[in-house]
Amino acid sequence: MASEDKEYMRRMADALRSGAKMLAEHCPVCNSPLFEIKGQLWCLKCNKRVIKVRGEEDVEDALTVITLSEAAKTLAAKIEEATMLLKRSADIEESRKLAEAMKTFLETLEKTTHLKKAFTEKKEEG
């Protein structure tokens, strides 16, 4: 038996002796059974704590929040740009277009922030 396997067996024995539970779930990295130790999930083969994502839905929510954050940042930058252009603009028609664009950016930013908040709160509740 390789020494790392011996280590693994020893860790498993120690964990079980100290009250750890072997779970039906498996490590996403090495596919070894996971253990619940003091309320935390551990892979004793990798000797690492495993953070479990509850489901595909949570992954999607997390990705949505990241996307929304990016969108908010981009919109804020666009509003800044439009403000600079508007300051410099001497043309009424151009100014009107810029103001229109800013209005759209601001409205979208507000919606984006709102959505992001909704997703974040949903996660905290759940």
Which residues make up the interface to Zn ion (CB under 5 A)? 27, 29-30, 32, 43, 45-46
CB of 47 to Zn ion, least distance (A): 8
Kindly report the number of other CB atoms within 10 A of residue 97's CB atom.
15
Q: How far apart are CA 29 and CA 95, in angstroms?
A: 56
Q: Whose Cβ is closer to Zn ion: residue 30's or residue 99's?
A: 30
CB of 29 to Zn ion, least distance (A): 4
The H or E element containing residue 66 is: helix 56-88
Q: How far apart are CA 83 and CA 86, in angstroms?
A: 5
Q: How far apart are CA 46 and CA 91, in angstroms?
A: 65
Q: Whose Cβ is closer to Zn ion: residue 27's or residue 65's?
A: 27
CB of 52 to Zn ion, least distance (A): 13
Residue nearest to Zn ion (CB): 27
Q: Whose Cβ is closer to Zn ion: residue 46's or residue 86's?
A: 46
